[in-house]
Amino acid sequence: MLRPHQWVKNVFVLAPVVFAKEIFETDLLLRAASAFGLFCLIAGSVYALNDLGDVEADRLHPVKRFRPIASGRVPTPWVPPVIATLVIGTLAAAALIELWFAGVLLAYFVQNVAYTKKLKHVAYVDVGCISLGFVLRVLAGGFATGITISSYLLVCTALLALFLGFGKRRHEFSAARRSGRQRIALESYRAGGLDLALTLTALATVGTYLAYTLDRHTRAFFHTDWLWTSTLFVVLGVWRFLFLVRSRPKAESPTQEMLRDGPFVAIMMGWVIIMIWVIYQLKPAG
């Protein structure tokens, strides 16, 4: 019901600490870890709310029908009290860390209530809501740790989330055409439009990331001129995700499939390694 396997998305809460070169500051790490945990709880309440709203549709889905609420393992009357307890407790704990952090968590929950009730049925707006959720994750990490967030980080996060969201919709669109069943939002999508959106957001994501690595302020902050080399792994990651969207039709979601895909995980590890090596080993040219 709380979908812990989806909580990996909340690592974006840790992004401000990583890109501020503060990963060895114990106090900030503790605050970031607390922020991550609390965001997982608020996200869990959102997933429970979404499953409650989709219970009838999920029962007709070949995979989603096994979810706790749809399958009946969790009785429907139990769900609202659990959600209320999670939300109130999480917001109270977040306020003890930083009021702005609690405000972002509240905004995330309210946005997802609107998404569950209405916005997920509106084509393209639904993906925009997903993207906003990732931006809120980054903002939450920044407020919780007191780290100023760069505009590049916010833009890259938004574009990457749009890219992943459109990839998920493209996968769902193809699956719906094969099965003959599709949800309301998919009725307004077209294969050509989704392919164009995927292409544009892929190019924009890679281009913005490359611009970030080449920016003089970025090079000065990290004391290296070689950060741009990590762009190769971003390109490979984008290419691999597109491959998964088109080649794994039976998967529930390409965003879940990529975490089980060996080559994609290897690409991600390669990005992490090159980032650490470049930032902490290489010196600026000249």
Q: Where do the DSSP E strands lie in the chain?
A: none
Q: What is the pLDDT of residue 279?
A: 74
Q: What is the pLDDT of residue 178?
A: 62
Q: What is the pLDDT of residue 177?
A: 66
The CA-to-CA distance between both ends of the chain, in Å, stands at: 55
Under 8 Å between Cβ of 20 and 27: no
Q: What is the pLDDT of residue 72?
A: 62
Residue 148 is classified by DSSP as P
Q: What is the pTM of this model?
A: 0.84
- What's the fold here for domain 1-149? Tetracycline Repressor; domain 2 (1.10.357)
Residue 54 is classified by DSSP as T
Instruction: Compute mean pLDDT per 10 residues along the chain, 286 residues long, and list them.
Output: 72 87 79 92 85 68 64 70 88 94 95 87 91 95 92 94 92 71 69 92 96 92 89 95 81 76 93 84 52
Q: What is the pLDDT of residue 253?
A: 75
Domain spans of the chain?
Answer: 1-149, 152-286
